[in-house]
Structure 1
Amino acid sequence: MNLPARFLLLGLLLASSGALAGPAVLLFPALGRGTGVFLQGRVLKEAPTRGSSVLSRNLRRLTAPNWKGAKVEVSFQGLTTTVTSGDDGNFEVTLQPVPGATFPTGFYMAEAKVAGASAQARVEVVSDTTPFLVVSDFDDTLAVTQVVKKAKLLESAFFKDSDTQEVVAGMSAFYGCLKAPTSPAFALVSGSPLQFVPRVSAFLGRHGFPPFALYLRDLGPGTLSNYKQPAIRRLLQQFPQPVVLVGDSGEKDPEVYAQIREEFPGRVKAIYIRDAGHAEDASRFKDMILFREASDAAAHAATSGLANAECVATAFPATAPTVEKTAP
């Protein structure tokens, strides 16, 4: 039996050993506009308990049974609607203000309730004057996961949590300096499983990243590839702003982002790719900024008018950033 299968078997044993109790709701942080807010989440029939170890907690998150057919009451800004969860426990809803009104811009809380459980999530209603959106990857872009090494990837997935996962140095400072002239809105589109939304949210908060909307992967046979493009397309269709795409070279971010740039001409202001391995083929990074250190990306963003130069100088005072040559 291979290592992933062993982890899955252990998780199933844990899930059936009385470690689960009561329902739970996952509601995902989101971006919205004054004209409407699109919310997504999942209902669990039995919520994972805290567990006695990081491994057991992660496995219980991944194996908690979904609740099909749950009646979910979703509320935002005084509006409430009820939806029914699907076969996988997922639910989604678009809430729109009453005719003639708009949602005020800023950060607010949405809530989802089922019988016996509720959850809240932060929603940013994005102003039309917001200069751009930042769409970011997570693994090996913000958190050190070492996806190119299977053993390290499994260690990160199962034996790390928000407190012990290593952060990519300088990335929170880089994101904090992205102001042109005001701050952008941030969306995280990642292959991390959606059951890890609480873990990812806690990690981002712990390391001082700006507030993110979270669009994680619903694990299954249909999401082995091409799982990022639908979420990014939806954001580009929902918002008129251009985007800055940030990822890493370890897997397919350069190819995914190149596809998005081709599909949405003129909408992608810049693509930043952190060198996390598999970077030998320069053709993968055509018209992208390949960087090793966050200071290099920040320096490029400052010279391109995407970041505040004074903020960059303050955040990276001990470095003399040199940006890698953009691939031809």
Structure 2
Amino acid sequence: MNVSARLAALVLALASASALADPAVLLSPALGRPGAVTLQGRVLAETPHGSTALTRNLRSLAARNWKGAKVEVSFQGVSATVTSGDDGNFQVTLQPSTGRTFPLGRHSAQASVKGATAMAQVEILADSTPFLVISDFDDTLAISEVTQPDKLVTNALLRDEDTQKVVPGMSGFYGCLGPSPKAEPGFALVSGSPVQFMPRVGAFLARHQFPTGFGLFLRDLGPGSLSDYKQPLIRDLLRRFPQQVVLVGDSGEKDPEVYAQIREEFPGRVRAIYIRDAGNSANATRFSDMVLFKDASTAALHAVQAGLARSACVTAAFPQAAPRTEQGTP
């Protein structure tokens, strides 16, 4: 029996095991505007526990969803009660009272059910925010080896936020985006990673010093999300936020095709597309008018030339790749 089959059998075994008593709420970090913020998450009938990365990951994936839970969601003094759906998911849009706006910057939201409460970060973006970065996760920021099934299973289930490897240089690239330290972009992570891995993904970003303030939009695993799951999420972001966007992904699966589709659907809204070479890159037509890069410094230097990143920051983050300007040097 190969690694994938053995781990699949473990998932089934844990799914049929008796449930733990305490429920759990997963509340996604979010992006909002002064006039509205949309909060979403999932309610689990039991809190996943485990002494190893394998048991924690498996129990996260196998945890039962809580259908019909009454969820109280609150942000900046505004609250609403919603009912979780068949998959345990909930979503609500909160608006400030008449004559008020949500303050710019980073604040906390809360979601509670009987027996469990979760907090999440919400970044309220000004309409003057220079642009929005919409990023993939697997093989763009974290090494997941999606195109190699056994390695993918190992990275997904045998590793966690502390042991999964980061793509070198990507946190430095993201940290330099924006025309100035006081005019940074917003960040949204739209990924095929399962929504049950939300705590793990957030902890990974923090551990590797990616910019704070990411909104997380992860995949709800199921037959209906095997393909075309990113486009609706990205479309919704482009409709809710007025900024132009920078799209960042990898070549391993369908990011180039998805991003090309979004660029065609929203003319003038996509400032640049950056694709990390993670394999399946022989066909150059996939990357028309995109920046295909192996090293993050290549993307960062291009971003400087395109007015998307700060030159001094990129020089400090990638000194080995900075252009040499001394007299007599090429």
What TM bracket, shorter-length normalisation? over 0.9
CA distance in 2, matches of 1:133, 1:6: 41
Corresponding residue number in structure 2 for 1:312: 314
- 1:140 matches 2:139: yes
Kindly provide the amino acid, as one letter, of the partner of residue 295 in structure 1: S
Kindly provide the amino acid, as one letter, of the partner of residue 161 in structure 1: D
CA distance in 1, matches of 2:288, 2:83: 44
Corresponding residue number in structure 2 for 1:201: 202
The residue correspondences of 1:235-250 to structure 2 (distance < 5 A) are 235-250=237-252
- 1:216 matches 2:218: yes
Deviations 1:248-275 (A, max 9, x none): 0000000000000000000000000000
Kindly provide the amino acid, as one letter, of the partner of residue 207 in structure 2: R
Q: 1:318 to 1:2 in 2, by over 3 A?
A: closer
CA distance in 1, matches of 2:162, 2:225: 28
User: RMSD of aligned C-alpha atoms?
Assistant: 1.4
- 1:38 matches 2:38: yes
Question: 5+ unaligned residues in a row in structure 2: which ranges?
Answer: 324-330
Distance apart, 1:11 and its partner CA: 2.1
Distance apart, 1:5 and its partner CA: 4.7
Say whether the 8 Å CA contact 1:109–1:120 is kept in structure 2: yes
Kindly provide the amino acid, as one letter, of the partner of residue 310 in structure 2: N
Corresponding residue number in structure 2 for 1:297: 299
Corresponding residue number in structure 1 for 2:327: none
Kindly provide the amino acid, as one letter, of the partner of residue 150 in structure 2: A
CA distance in 1, matches of 2:168, 2:21: 38
Corresponding residue number in structure 2 for 1:158: 157
Q: 1:288 to 1:200 in 2, by over 3 A?
A: same
1:285 maps to which of 284, 287, 291: 287
Distance apart, 1:101 and its partner CA: 1.4
CA distance in 1, matches of 2:249, 2:46: 34
Corresponding residue number in structure 2 for 1:85: 84
Say whether the 8 Å CA contact 1:8–1:59 is kept in structure 2: no
Moved more, 134-143 or 14-23: 14-23
Structure 1 residue matching 2:164: 3-state secondary structure: coil
2:235 maps to which of 233, 238, 253: 233
CA distance in 1, matches of 2:3, 2:317: 41
Distance apart, 1:123 and its partner CA: 0.3
Deviations 1:24-46 (A, max 9, x none): 00000000001100000000111
CA distance in 2, matches of 1:125, 1:155: 36
Deviations 1:209-247 (A, max 9, x none): 012110000000000000000110000000000000000
Deviations 1:15-63 (A, max 9, x none): 44457331000000000001100000000111111x1221111000000
CA distance in 2, matches of 1:187, 1:108: 16
CA distance in 2, matches of 1:258, 1:277: 18
Say whether the 8 Å CA contact 1:270–1:288 is kept in structure 2: yes
Corresponding residue number in structure 1 for 2:13: 13
Moved more, 129-138 or 19-28: 19-28
CA distance in 2, matches of 1:281, 1:17: 46
Deviations 1:142-185 (A, max 9, x none): 00111111111111011110000000000000000001241100
Q: Report the identity percentage.
A: 67
CA distance in 2, matches of 1:61, 1:185: 29
- Equivalent residue pairs, number: 321
CA distance in 2, matches of 1:305, 1:228: 27
Say whether the 8 Å CA contact 2:314–2:322 is kept in structure 1: no
Say whether the 8 Å CA contact 1:11–1:56 is kept in structure 2: no
Say whether the 8 Å CA contact 1:19–1:48 is kept in structure 2: no
Question: 5+ unaligned residues in a row in structure 1: which ranges?
Answer: 322-328
